[in-house]
Amino acid sequence: MMFQSYALFPHMTVGKNIAFGLQLEVVDILEEVGVTCVMVTHDQEESMTMAERIAIMHEGKIVQTGSPMDIYESPSCRMVAEFIGSVNLFEGEIVVDEPDHAIIQSPNFTQQFYIGHGVSTNVDDKRVWLAVRPEKARISREQPDSEYNWCRGEVEDIAYLGGYLFTIFD
């Protein structure tokens, strides 16, 4: 096994280090010159690094546009949530839908999930997918005081991946 010790970002391969540096350089040049550029990529990290706005396409149609943060934090559908970054998905049903919040009940959990904005559904089918990013989850031995947004589980396995742990729950 060989480790690179002179990389700008030691956790990246040499190729990824070079590509990342070039991506940042291209963004700087485009901003300095003041031109608009349309880039097409299948590399989610590249799009998140380089773009001010992203358009996600699925089956030839644009399914969501927005800033990298908008796309990552508020995906418009399950496909976008799964396409950009890692995500845990839970099936649920909207039990409360107000303009400033929604409450979702999942058959997998006893506690309900509180979302800080309305979902604005006006259809009879209230089934949704709740997406929880791994970095938004917190593991604790203590039961939270909150009525919402937590569940009880048992750690089944842990994989140490350097900068983070990959944890599997039952």
Cβ pair 89, 131 in contact under 8 A: yes
Separation between Cα atoms, residue 23 and residue 44, nearest integer Å: 13
| In-domain check, residue 123 | yes
How much of the chain is helix, strand and coil, in % rounded to 5?
25, 30, 45
pLDDT, tens digit, 9 for 90 and up, residues 93-149 = 999 988 899 999 999 888 999 988 888 766 778 888 888 888 888 888 888 888 898
Average pLDDT, the chain: 84
| In-domain check, residue 116 | yes
Q: What is the DSSP letter of 60?
A: T
| In-domain check, residue 37 | no
| More confidently predicted of 9 and 167 | 167
| In-domain check, residue 39 | no
- Domain count for the chain, please give it: 1
| In-domain check, residue 110 | yes
| In-domain check, residue 124 | yes
Give me the domain span that covers residue 94: 86-142
Separation between Cα atoms, residue 152 and residue 154, nearest integer Å: 7
| pLDDT above 90 (res 40) | no
| In-domain check, residue 12 | no
Measured over the CA atoms of residue 123, residue 126, residue 132 and residue 136, the dihedral's sign is positive
